[in-house]
Amino acid sequence: MARRSEQVAILGAGNMGRALARGLRAAPTTRRFRVVLTVRDPRRLAPVASEIGARIAGSNRAAVEGCETVVVAVKPQILPSVLAEIGDALENGTTLLSIAAGVSTARLEAGVGEGVGVVRAMPNVAASVRSSATAYCLGRTARRRDRERARTILGSIGTVVEVDESLMDAVTGLSGTGPLYLFLILESLSDAGVKVGLSREIATHLAIQTLVGSAELVRATGEHPAKLRDLVTSPGGTAITALHSLERSGLKAMLMDAVEAAARRSEELGRSRSPSSATSSEGAAKP
Ligand SMILES: NC(=O)c1ccc[n+]([C@@H]2O[C@H](COP(=O)([O-])OP(=O)(O)OC[C@H]3O[C@@H](n4cnc5c(N)ncnc54)[C@H](OP(=O)(O)O)[C@@H]3O)[C@@H](O)[C@H]2O)c1
């Protein structure tokens, strides 16, 4: 007998919501999903929805009707009003998957019925090319079925790992904010290539492929990066000379400081988004 398709509502079809919808369409399991989208102003969504093969609902409440999974992809400060709109419309057994930065599972659970399984995730901007490094955590009410649904949906935009909720700020500092570090590194390497005489085009191409290739090598070998670094460091060569320069500049400490600072900021923002701090003016959608 043919398997019944699952209905997924994506509330807030902005950058991340659309990436998820596209991921569901492109993933091998796509045929199992019927996707319903909402935004604030649906008129501009029609071309995207038709490209993705998704339906547009007139309201969040209408969108969640009959859905097995409801993905909340609005900005964190919009989330309370969306939860108020849909909270009592979610049926028992529904999975609520939120990607809103800094909004705890406890806060999400407070807005829905006991029978709704809550999952909180932190993807990154590479979701738009289905290469996100996403971590998620389960809420108190989540069951195996909720985990499976979340993993399938998040897996359609990249890789997925499960962590304890206490580590979500650390995740935000490392992989949520991570594209920024690597964009800056790529920009710097591209500039450096131009400085030593390469064209911008060739410098950027070489920088990108070196970054991707090095990451692939670490992944493929499973080796500690320091071991691979040692393998390319020959006596008196270019690598040890460059390493000396990088150590003098403190690159490693700079990156560690940046991740730690971003994790700390994520924690602060999470506190400001808790119900006891309802006057938060923080409006950033980005992690
Ligand atoms: N961007 C990232 O790299 C990133 C990474 C990790 C997590 N996140 C999280 O992902 C979420 C979305 O971020 P984003 O960058 O995709 O933001 P975005 O592009 O601004 O998308 C937000 C969407 O929400 C829609 N919206 C606003 N009010 C709504 C309502 N009441 N009902 C339904 N939809 C509504 C907006 O509609 P209109 O288009 O009509 O205004 C917009 O399409 C945020 O919570 C953020 O913390 C983002």
| Domain regions of the chain by residue span | 6-168, 178-262
6-168 shares its CATH topology with 178-262: no
**Region 178-262: CATH code:** 1.10.3730.10
Locate tokens 């060569």: which residue? 237
Q: Which of 47-51, 52-56, 111-115, 193-197 has the highest mean pLDDT?
A: 193-197
Locate tokens 């591209």: which residue? 190
CA-nearest residue for atom 5, ligand 1, is 124
How close is the Cα of 158 to the center of ligand 1, in Å?
A: 19
Beta-carbon contacts of residue 197 (< 8 Å; ≥ 6 apart): none
Q: Which has the minimum average pLDDT: 6-20, 35-49, 167-181?
A: 35-49
Provide the pLDDT for residue 282. Answer: 41
Mean pLDDT calculated for residue range 80-93: 96
How close is the Cα of 276 to the center of ligand 1, in Å?
A: 23
Q: Which helix (H) or strand (E) holds 8?
A: strand 6-11
The whole-angstrom separation of Cα 220 and Cα 218 is 6
State yes or no: pLDDT of 281 exceeds 60. Answer: no
Q: What pLDDT, in 10s, does the model give residues 206-233?
A: 999 999 999 999 999 999 999 999 999 9
CA-nearest residue for atom 42, ligand 1, is 14
The whole-angstrom separation of Cα 264 and Cα 172 is 9
The two three-digit tokens of residue 139, written as one number: 């809420």
User: Which atom, in ligand 1's list, is nearest to the CA of 19?
Assistant: 16
How close is the Cα of 77 to the center of ligand 1, in Å?
A: 10
Q: Which of 20, 36, 72, 74 to mutate to test the pocket of ligand 1 (most atoms within 8 A of CB)?
A: 74
pTM of the model: 0.92
Assign domain 6-168 to a CATH class: alpha beta
Q: Which of 40, 41, 44 to mutate to test the pocket of ligand 1 (most atoms within 8 A of CB)?
A: 40
CA-nearest residue for atom 45, ligand 1, is 100
Q: Which helix (H) or strand (E) holds 150?
A: helix 144-155
How close is the Cα of 217 to the center of ligand 1, in Å?
A: 34
3 state SS of 72: strand
State yes or no: pLDDT of 140 exceeds 70. Answer: yes
How close is the Cα of 40 to the center of ligand 1, in Å?
A: 10
Mean pLDDT calculated for residue range 136-156: 96
CA-nearest residue for atom 30, ligand 1, is 40
Mean pLDDT calculated for residue range 183-193: 98
Provide the pLDDT for residue 4. Answer: 59
How close is the Cα of 79 to the center of ligand 1, in Å?
A: 10
Beta-carbon contacts of residue 17 (< 8 Å; ≥ 6 apart): 10, 11, 37, 39, 71, 73
Average pLDDT, the chain: 92
The whole-angstrom separation of Cα 53 and Cα 57 is 13
pLDDT band for position 43 (cuts 50, 70, 90): confident
The whole-angstrom separation of Cα 242 and Cα 76 is 43
Provide the pLDDT for residue 275. Answer: 67
- Residue 175's nearest CA partner among 219, 131, 216, 212 is 131
- Ligand 1, CB within 6 Å, residue ranges: 11-17, 38-41, 60, 73-76, 78, 81-82, 99-101, 122-125, 176, 285-287
State the amino acid at position 104 in one-letter form.
S
How close is the Cα of 279 to the center of ligand 1, in Å?
A: 20
